[in-house]
């Protein structure tokens, strides 16, 4: 499958708004079930019940249980990307990077159940679905690479391409960590405290590359 092509989840219903509404219901129901029981132990009948409609109605909007997992994963990355793209980044480059980090961490906090399900269950996606989902993740990493490159272009950071890429990956993983380690982290930090501490650590780690203006 070509990675730039969206994987199609077939539906016998032609009303796009109705399809979107029903699939939103499926996603909400499936996330709760996948978190509790895992993908393989959850049945499509249970997903239908949690979504508020019959098994027959469920199969009007999907073809397989894997379709539901794909939609869950797809929605996570669409929402994270959409919210990041909506951030006001009108300040200086370092300021923009800091704002981008904070907003991303907040999105992960708001979608922490979805993030947890994604990391637990993405391995269950088929060979044609998984590359597309992983590509969406790399696109979000690329957003941070762009913000870091702006810092380099403005002389606020001094890094080469490989260092930029690794820093962007680190930012992405530190945000995701709040999703799958929150059971331990929230005993010590609120999300706002976590953002401050992780941002401090990230910038301490690149202190040698940082130009104070």
Stretch(es) of the chain classified as CATH 1.10.357.10: 66-205
Residue 133: CB atoms within 10 A of its CB come to 19
| pTM of the predicted protein model | 0.80
CA dihedral 33, 34, 35, 36 (to 10 degrees): 50
Which is the CATH superfamily of the domain at 11-63? Homeodomain-like (1.10.10.60)
**Is 155 within 8 Å of 24 (Cβ atoms)?**
no
CATH 1.10.10.60 residue ranges of the chain are 11-63
CATH 3.30.390.30 corresponds to the domain 66-205: no
Q: What is the CA radius of gyration of the chain?
A: 19
How do the pLDDT tens digits run along the chain, 213 residues long? Answer: 333 444 567 777 777 888 888 888 988 899 889 988 888 899 999 999 999 989 998 888 888 888 888 888 788 777 777 877 777 767 778 888 999 899 899 989 988 888 888 888 888 877 877 887 788 888 889 989 999 998 999 888 899 999 999 999 999 999 999 988 988 999 999 999 999 999 999 988 887 666 644
């Amino acid at each position: 499958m070509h990675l730039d092509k969206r994987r199609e989840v077939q539906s016998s219903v032609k009303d796009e708004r109705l399809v979107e509404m029903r699939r939103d219901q499926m996603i909400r129901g499936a996330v709760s079930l996948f978190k509790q029981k895992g993908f393989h132990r959850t049945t499509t009948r249970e997903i239908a019940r949690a979504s508020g409609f019959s098994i027959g109605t469920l199969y009007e909007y999907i073809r397989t249980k894997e379709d539901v997992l794909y939609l869950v994963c797809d929605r996570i990355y669409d929402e994270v990307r959409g919210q990041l793209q909506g951030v006001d980044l009108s300040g200086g480059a370092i300021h923009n990077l800091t704002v981008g980090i904070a907003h991303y961490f907040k999105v992960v906090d708001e979608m922490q159940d979805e993030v947890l399900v994604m990391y637990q269950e993405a391995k269950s996606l088929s060979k044609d679905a998984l590359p597309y989902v992983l590509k969406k993740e790399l696109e979000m990493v690329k957003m941070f690479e762009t913000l870091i490159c702006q810092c380099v272009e403005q002389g606020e950071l001094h890094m080469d391409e490989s260092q930029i890429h690794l820093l962007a990956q680190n930012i992405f993983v530190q945000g995701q960590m709040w999703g799958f380690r929150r059971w331990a982290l929230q005993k010590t930090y609120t999300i706002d405290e976590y953002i401050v501490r992780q941002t401090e650590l990230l910038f301490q780690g690149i202190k040698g590359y940082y130009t104070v203006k």
